[in-house]
């Protein structure tokens, strides 16, 4: 997810560098180790230099819930483009299909945590599986079923914009601290930390560069 306006940040936080790499590039490298298929939800043609397909946000400027729905609708469309011989296979597997959706500005996410999250999703009957940290729920680091797209879109069209109001429209499974704490860097509570302001960025850069990451 890289469709935000970065209004509090003052510049495009997807392109600020940590350790000589743009933040979005770091996230792409991380996600490639977690999932074989990767797309960016953003304004079309904005990040072509990264060589990743961009899915244009259907509701630019309307907040992250619209970006999540965009991603899920794109996954549904991908499934619909299968050949007739493949269709029965896709249908039978639909209940187990997931999208892992993360924000581009979470510099302390780890491969181990994201792999645990995806593995946990494979055995879940929920439509979204998301962690809850000391700061609250973390729907921008979560696994979502493409099948949840329609209920979310209907809510969005009724005027729902808050992420957690959207989550209430689908069946959710919550992972608490006991599930994610062991993946947190040095137990410092940074796993889901994101960069909303320039001072957040400077702190993240200082920590990661000091750790050689």
Q: Mean pLDDT throughout 20-40? A: 95
In the prediction, which pLDDT does 187 show?
Answer: 65
Distance CA 139, CA 129 (A): 8
Give the residues across from 143 on adjacent strands: 100, 129
- What tens digit of pLDDT does each residue of 111-168 get? 999 999 999 999 999 999 999 998 899 999 999 999 999 999 999 999 999 999 999 9
Distance CA 43, CA 127 (A): 26
Q: Quote the pTM value.
A: 0.89
Q: Are strands 21-22 and 40-42 parallel, antiparallel or unpaired?
A: unpaired
**pLDDT-based confidence at residue 9 (cuts at 50, 70, 90):** confident
Which residue stretches of 13-127 are H helix? 23-32, 64-80, 84-93, 111-122
**pLDDT-based confidence at residue 58 (cuts at 50, 70, 90):** very high
Q: Kindly list the structural domains of the chain, giving each domain's residue range(s) and its CATH number in brackets, ordered by start.
A: 17-210 (3.90.550.10)
Give the residues across from 137 on adjacent strands: 132
The DSSP letter of residue 44 is: T
pLDDT tops 50 at residue 91: no
What share of the chain in percent tops pLDDT 70?
92
Q: Mean pLDDT throughout 20-41? A: 95
What residues have CB less than 8 Å from 15, skipping those under 6 apart?
Answer: 22, 23, 24
**pLDDT-based confidence at residue 97 (cuts at 50, 70, 90):** confident
Distance CA 24, CA 104 (A): 6
Distance CA 3, CA 104 (A): 9
In the prediction, which pLDDT does 92 show?
Answer: 32
pLDDT tops 50 at residue 190: yes
Q: What are phi and psi of 185, to 5 degrees?
A: -60, 115
């Amino acid at each position: 997810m890289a469709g935000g306006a970065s209004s509090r940040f003052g510049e495009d936080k997807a392109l600020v560098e940590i350790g000589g790499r743009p933040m979005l590039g770091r996230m792409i490298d991380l996600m490639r180790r977690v999932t074989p298929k990767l797309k960016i939800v953003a304004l079309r043609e904005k990040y072509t230099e990264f060589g990743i397909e961009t899915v244009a946000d259907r509701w630019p400027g309307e907040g992250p819930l619209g970006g999540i729905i965009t991603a899920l609708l794109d996954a549904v469309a991908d499934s619909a483009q299968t050949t007739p011989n493949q269709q029965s296979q896709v249908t039978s597997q639909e209940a187990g299909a997931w999208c892992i959706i993360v924000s581009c500005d979470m510099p302390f996410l780890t491969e181990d945590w994201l792999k645990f999250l995806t593995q946990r999703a494979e055995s879940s009957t929920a439509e979204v599986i998301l962690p809850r940290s000391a700061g609250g729920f973390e729907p921008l680091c979560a696994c979502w079923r493409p099948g949840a797209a329609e209920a979310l879109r209907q809510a969005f069209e009724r005027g729902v914009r808050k992420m957690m109001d959207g989550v209430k429209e689908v069946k959710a499974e919550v992972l608490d601290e006991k599930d994610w704490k062991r993946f947190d860097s040095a137990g410092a509570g940074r796993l889901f930390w994101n960069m909303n302001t320039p001072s957040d960025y400077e702190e993240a850069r200082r920590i990661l560069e000091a750790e050689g990451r």
